[in-house]
Amino acid sequence: MVSASDFVGRDIISIKDFTRDEIDYILRVAGEMEPLAKTGSDMLKGKIMATLFFEPSTRTRLSFETAMYKLGGSVIGFSGPEASSIMKGESLADTVRVVEKYASIIVLRHPAEGAARFAAEYANVPVINAGSGAEEHPTQALLDLYTIVREKGQIDGLTIALMGDLKYARTIHSLAYALSLYKVRLIFISPELLRMRREILEDIRGRVEVYEQTSIEDVLPEIDVLYVTRIQKERFPDIAEYAKVRGSYRIDLAILKKAKKDLIILHPLPRVDEVSVEVDSTPFAKYFQQVENGVVLRMALLALVLGAIKE
Ligand code: NCD
């Protein structure tokens, strides 16, 4: 049986560190945070969260900060390495050892895969991975699951398509692992060059049915949840490769004629051109709802890790 005490002081580095029961527990606590997101609370009064962002961010950083403020805590941090002593040559290890003297929890985004795990080894306070290169983005996956449960009632039984840059999108990697703990059919749709990482496919294949496609047309009528990501241009080692896939997929109203009436479309945002803005005003579009759900989900994580949730 999972209990709140299982999360106290815990790092959140990879979605693979969590069992299905633990994830379901977090999603339940997020539900309990909904009223507190409206009224505010002093659950984390006196606690300080540090956001160390070495890469651009809008939603992840602002929603962690919003979550902390709504629970009565405070926030310090920086939103680009140019503003920190990293520019003077300070190491990530030293940065973390300094910041833990100020804050009870560290939220870290970094371009290097493995950076969050590395930081957690040095820090005596919990570290939350807010994106580690192309590798993982576990809190985004949790808010994606929370959105699916809220919109569809449950995750089991659904056919879920992950579409776009399956190679470099860290949101996709964490979400694919998380979904493989449920009874779902997964359809991966991408240009050939951006197929899902082999090691992830091998890992999840034994647990769930997995299909790979290069186009959405044939499979769209079966899909309950369509999760779209932008091409992660900044992660391409060779810009000529990016040029080959730029603009190669796009969801618009014409394509959606073949969709189930109750299809939901999710996107971690930012969007570039892969979902046409004309889709925004249809009942399919849930990506702005996802943003709102990110706040309650992160409230739940902060409250759990900082020991504010009693059994
Ligand atoms: C994503 C990220 O940073 O990985 N954004 C987010 O956190 N919501 C997705 C992206 O950049 O495409």
- Which domains are present in the chain? 4-136+292-305 (3.40.50.1370), 138-291 (3.40.50.1370)
**pLDDT 10s digit of each residue in the chain, 311 long?**
999 999 999 999 999 999 999 999 999 999 999 999 999 999 999 999 999 999 999 999 999 999 999 999 999 999 988 878 877 888 999 999 999 999 999 999 999 999 999 999 999 999 999 999 999 999 999 999 999 999 999 999 999 999 999 999 999 999 999 999 999 999 999 999 999 999 999 999 999 999 999 999 999 999 999 999 999 999 999 999 999 999 999 999 999 999 999 999 999 999 999 999 999 999 999 999 999 999 999 999 999 999 999 87
Three-state DSSP at 259 gives: coil
**What residues flank ligand 1, with Cβ below 6 Å?**
59-60, 131, 137, 140, 170-171, 229-230, 232, 268-270
- Cα–Cα distances (Å) from 153 to 26, 28, 158, in that order, read 16, 12, 10
Tokens of 58: 């809008």
88 has catalytic annotation: yes
Hey, whose CA ends up nearest to atom 6 of ligand 1?
268
pLDDT at 311: 74
Q: Beta strand pairing status for 225-228 and 209-213?
A: unpaired
What ligand 1 atom has the least distance to the C-alpha of 229?
12
**H or E element in which residue 31 lies:** helix 20-39
Tokens 């996802």 -> residue: 290
pLDDT at 61: 97
Mutate to test the pocket of ligand 1, among 53, 54, 60 (most ligand atoms within 8 A of CB): 60
pLDDT at 64: 98
Tokens 């759990």 -> residue: 304
DSSP annotation of 122 reads H
Which distant-in-sequence residues (6+ apart) come within 8 Å of 182 by Cβ? Answer: 20, 155, 156, 208
pLDDT at 300: 98
pTM above 0.75, yes or no: yes
Which among 61, 70, 110, 137 is annotated as catalytic? 137
Count of residues in the chain = 311
Hey, whose CA ends up nearest to atom 8 of ligand 1?
268
59 has catalytic annotation: yes
